Amino acid sequence: MTNIGIILGSTRPGRNGEAVARWVQSVASERTDARYELVDLLDYNLPHLDEAIPASAGQYSQPHTQRWAEKIASFDGFVVVTPEYNHSTSGALKNAIDFLFAEWNNKAVGFVSYGANGGTRAVEHLRLIAGELMMADVRAQLALSLITDFENFSTFVPNEYHKQSLGTVLDQVVAWSTSLSHLRAPVSA
């Protein structure tokens, strides 16, 4: 069965992303096409990138990097839940991505974003990063507005129609993850 990681890309105290990621997981758990697991960056306590050798070499020296690499390697694809901070993604998510290389290769990725403008600029940055990591970013995206999808900008109250959009993201991530399975092997930089 295809394994999809739902990455919670914010570590900020009081983060809105936790409610969004748990909702994504709840909707995904109703499906039978893949196994879905929530991956919270807070559980990995990754410091600012502290590996001396570039990730493309795959020579991880730190236990936290090795643990993170093992978790990411266990997935066939991802749904990344990202906030938008200053027209980009969170520093914590970018840092977590930068720790690894081969573990991301030949896997699909879809995005659920949130922010004043739906987090779309954060996703545009993440799409560029995905290309460099040899990831297939799917076309569908769910963009949530802090103005219309959150009460008082802090309590997530998704509209029912968002389930259909999320379903399209999940459909595409699973299809691409499955299709790319024959390519997943160690890749040199």
Mean local confidence (pLDDT), 62-87: 97
Binned at pLDDT 50, 70 and 90, residue 184 comes out as confident
Buried b (16+ CB within 10 A) or exposed e, 161-182: ebeebbbbbbebbbebbbebee
In this predicted structure, what is the pLDDT of residue 189? 57
In this predicted structure, what is the pLDDT of residue 186? 53
Beta strands in 29-86 (DSSP E): 35-40, 77-83
% of residues, the chain, pLDDT over 90: 96
Work out the number of other CB atoms within 10 angstroms of the CB of residue 103.
19
Backbone angles phi, psi at 8, to 5 degrees: -85, 105
Whether the Cβ atoms of residue 8 and residue 38 lie closer than 8 Å to each other: yes
79 forms beta bridges with: 6, 110
Q: Is 10 exposed, middle or buried (0-12, 13-18, 19+ CB in 10 A)?
A: buried
In this predicted structure, what is the pLDDT of residue 6? 98
Mean local confidence (pLDDT), 135-149: 97
Q: Give the mean pLDDT of the chain.
A: 96
| Cα–Cα dist 187/31, whole Å | 31
Express each pLDDT in 46-57 by its tens digit.
999 999 999 999
In this predicted structure, what is the pLDDT of residue 24? 98
Task: Report the predicted TM-score, pTM, of the whole model to 2 decimal places.
Answer: 0.95
In this predicted structure, what is the pLDDT of residue 27? 98
| Cα–Cα dist 122/56, whole Å | 24
Domains and CATH numbers, the chain: 7-136+146-178 (3.40.50.360)
Please say if the pLDDT value at position 187 is more than 90. no
Q: Which of 49, 52, 77 is nearest to 64 (CA)?
A: 49
In this predicted structure, what is the pLDDT of residue 36? 98
In this predicted structure, what is the pLDDT of residue 185? 58
Please say if the pLDDT value at position 138 is more than 90. yes
